[in-house]
Amino acid sequence: MFREDLCNRCGKCLSQCPWMEVDGEEAIGIVKKLIKKEYSSVLKNCITCFACNEICPEQAYPFDLIASLQEKYYTLFPKEKLKAVERRFSSNDDEVAAFNADSILSLCVFKETDPELIKGALYDMPQVSGNPYFCWVLFSHIGGASIQEKHVKRLIQNLARNNPKEVVCFHDDCYTMLSHFAPEYGLDVPFRPVHLAEHLLRRLKPKHHSLKSLNVKIAYQRPCASRYTPEKENFIDELLDLVGAERVDRKYDRENAMCCAGVKKILGMGDPTPHQEENVKDAINAGAQALVCLCPMCMHALSPAAHRNRLPVLFIGDLARMALGEIKVNAFN
């Protein structure tokens, strides 16, 4: 939620935007216009990477202001297209799973799209997946902020059915929805959202004596949603450390991460390839032997550029499975 009371109108959110050229004075003027809910061309040029939320020194969440105006002026998806996407991900109560478990794994819609990423002992627990568990953060990327908010109460109700104590979130977006957005919307989350990296750590740590140290240098692709939930970054670092994967120090990581740019294609904002090539080359120049992704969407977006440059792309869960011995370690050879 944009915090107008915290915003000092410094303009840094726009003048330091990695995707637009806006100079300092112009940025200040645009921020003032946006606060008055007026139109600006930044609303159609913003690729929704969420970076300005971390750039802002006052934690005012400027992207949330941009997102609300992208919907007001339909600068990304038009109204009818937003409605069509909303219908695509809607569900009815018959589809909600019913079973008793203290801890469940929410797969969002990735069981349908990426089943090969959800194999092995690390995911051996009660699972829920499909439209009733879709987290709706996609709508922050396509100009449908209010649609995102509208459906979250139902998502929480679906997950809370049978009273789990915790919900492990396979996707960074789901974790961000439950740990950041839902409380912002004033919704009670009656279970603990657990990030995938924390879950993987909990499963691997008791086996640390028998884990295979991967002894590999990796570049980490930090997803957009992590801009809202940077507090779990320590789990990522601890997990990489535990499996013997050195996170290389590169230009496009942590607060300076480069969006995978897959959303540019979805929004019809031009060819993302040059940005993806730059991202992959940054990883290679820093000595990485593989690009490790937390978000399956980042994997899909960056794979063509990575393959062209002979850099393997791995899901972070598969790195954990390699350390367990479930997947052969030949990806780095």
Applying CB under 6 A, which part among 15-23, 182-190, 202-210, 230-238 lies near ligand SF4? 15-23
Contacts of ligand SF4 in 27-56 (CB under 6 A): 31, 46-52, 56
Phi, psi of 313 (to 5 degrees): -115, 130
- Residue of 12, 141, 195, 321 interacting with ligand SF4 (CB under 6 A): 12
Residue 31 or 168: which CB sits closer to ligand SF4? 31
- Cα–Cα dist 164/173, whole Å: 20
Query: Does residue 267 bind ligand SF4 (CB under 6 A)?
Result: no
Residue 42 or 204: which CB sits closer to ligand SF4? 42
Applying CB under 6 A, which part among 9-17, 190-198, 274-282, 318-326 lies near ligand SF4? 9-17
- Cα–Cα dist 303/179, whole Å: 29
A 10 A CB-CB count for 1 gives 12
Q: How many residues lie near ligand SF4 (CB under 6 A)?
A: 24
Query: Does residue 252 bind ligand SF4 (CB under 6 A)?
Result: no
- Cα–Cα dist 73/34, whole Å: 12
CB of 278 to ligand SF4, least distance (A): 16
Residue that has been written with the tokens 């987290």 in this structure:
135
* Contact present, 170 and 110 (Cβ < 8 Å): yes
* Contact present, 196 and 238 (Cβ < 8 Å): no
Applying CB under 6 A, which part among 8-16, 93-101, 268-276, 310-318 lies near ligand SF4? 8-16
Query: Does residue 211 bind ligand SF4 (CB under 6 A)?
Result: no
- CA distances to 119, 142, 211, 319 from 330, in Å: 18, 38, 16, 12
Binding residues for ligand SF4, per CB under 6 A? 7-13, 17, 19-20, 31, 46-52, 56, 58, 60, 62-63, 66
